[in-house]
Chains A and B, each alone.
Chain A
Amino acid sequence: MTYSTLRLCSGRAAFEAVPRPKLSLDLGQIRGRLERAGIPVTDARVLLIARMEREVTVARDGRILIKSADAPEAARILARLRSLIDLPA
C-alpha cells in the first residue's frame, strides 16, 4: 500500500493523493490528533476538513485533497499531515 502519487485534481485547483488499495481510516482518531496539534477540523463523518496552511480533506477511504495548486506547497502539507496522523507510507 502506498500514496505513490500527488496529482493535480480534475478541476486543476487542488492536489490529491489517492492510496492504492483504499484504506479504512479511523477519522475520529485522526481528528483527535489534528486537534491536539492545534489544527481546526470540521467533521462531516465520512470525511474531515482540516484547516492547515491550506484546507485539507481527508476521506475515510484514505483519499486526501489539498486545496493548493502549487505542487511544492501541496507536497509540504502532505508531508506534515503524514507526520501528524501517521498514515501508512
Chain B
Amino acid sequence: MLMSGGIDSPVSMYYLLRQGHDLLAVHMDNRPFTDDTPLEKIVDHLRVLGERFERKIPLYVLPHGPTQIELMRNTDRHVGCVLCRRFMWRSAERIAEREHATFLATGESLGQVASQTLSNMRSATASVSLPIVRPLVGFDKQEIEAVAKSIGTYGISTRPGLCCQAVPDRPATRSGLVQILQQEERIDVESLIDDCVRRAVVM
C-alpha cells in the first residue's frame, strides 16, 4: 500500500485492514522536494492502525528524490505528476513481488488532484500489471476526513508539513500514454527503478 503521510492513505489502509488483508506499507521518500514530516506522519499512522488491528505493519521507505531530479531535468514538467506516479507504481510493484503481495493499493479518489483524473490514473497505472485497489475511489474529501477523525489519523495527517516542491505550476489533468512513453524515452527508467528499490529501507 502506497502511503504519503496525507489524510487519505491511512483511511484507505484502515478499510483494507478491516477486511482482514495483510498489508505492508511503501513510502516514496521525496526528499529533498519535501522534508522529514511525511515519513514521521506515516510512522505514526502505522502505529495508530497497528494498535487498532493488533499487528505490526512493515514500512518500506524508497528514495524517490533522485528520480524526481532526473524527471525535472529531462522531461516535460507539464506531465511531471504522471511520470512521478508511474515510478511510484513500478517501484511499489517491485516491492510487492519481493514480498509475494497480490495487489497494490492507494488512497486515491477520483478527481481530487491533478494526478487523480481518470485519464492520468490510466496513464500512471499502465506501468504495472498487479491489480490496483482504491478503497476510497468514490469518496469525497469530507467523507474521508470524517473517517480519518474517527480512527485517529486526521490529527497526524494535518500536522505541519511541506508540500511537494516538484509539482509543476500547471500539472496536466489529461495525458495520453503515447506522450508519456515518449517522455520516458528521455531517461533510463529501469536503472532509476533498480537504484530506488536497491536502496529501500525497511522500518
| A residues whose Cβ falls under 8 Å from a Cβ of B | 9-14, 42-47, 49, 55, 57, 61, 65, 67, 69
Contacts and interface: CB of A to CB of B under 8 A. Distances in A.
B72 A11 contact: no
Interface of B: 32-33, 35, 37, 68-69, 72-73, 77, 160-163, 165-166, 169
A25 to B, nearest CB: 15
Contacts of B32: 42, 49, 55
B163 A11 contact: yes
B133 to A, nearest CB: 28
A55 B162 CA distance: 12
B162 A67 contact: yes
B162 A13 contact: yes
A47 B71 CA distance: 12
20 contacts: A10-B163, A11-B37, A11-B160, A11-B163, A13-B160, A14-B35, A42-B32, A43-B73, A44-B69, A44-B72, A44-B73, A44-B166, A45-B72, A46-B72, A47-B165, A49-B165, A55-B32, A67-B35, A67-B162, A69-B160
Contacts of B37: 11, 13
Main secondary structure of the interface of A (DSSP, over half): loop
A9 B33 CA distance: 14
Contacts of A55: 32, 35
A83 to B, nearest CB: 23
Nearest to B169: A61
A43 B33 CA distance: 12
A56 to B, nearest CB: 10
A22 to B, nearest CB: 10
Contacts of A9: 162-163
A13 B69 CA distance: 22
A13 B164 CA distance: 12
Contacts of A13: 35, 37, 160-162
B69 A11 contact: no
Given A11-B37, A55-B32, A65-B165, 9 more contacts: A11-B160, A11-B161, A12-B160, A14-B35, A42-B32, A44-B73, A45-B73, A49-B165, A67-B162
Given A13-B37, A49-B32, A67-B35, A44 B161 contact: no
A10 B165 CA distance: 12
A49 to B, nearest CB: 5
A16 B160 CA distance: 14
A57 B33 CA distance: 9
B68 A44 contact: yes
**Interchain residue pairs A-B with the least CB separation, the first 7:** A12-B160, A44-B72, A13-B160, A45-B73, A13-B162, A49-B32, A11-B161
Contacts of A44: 68-69, 72-73, 166
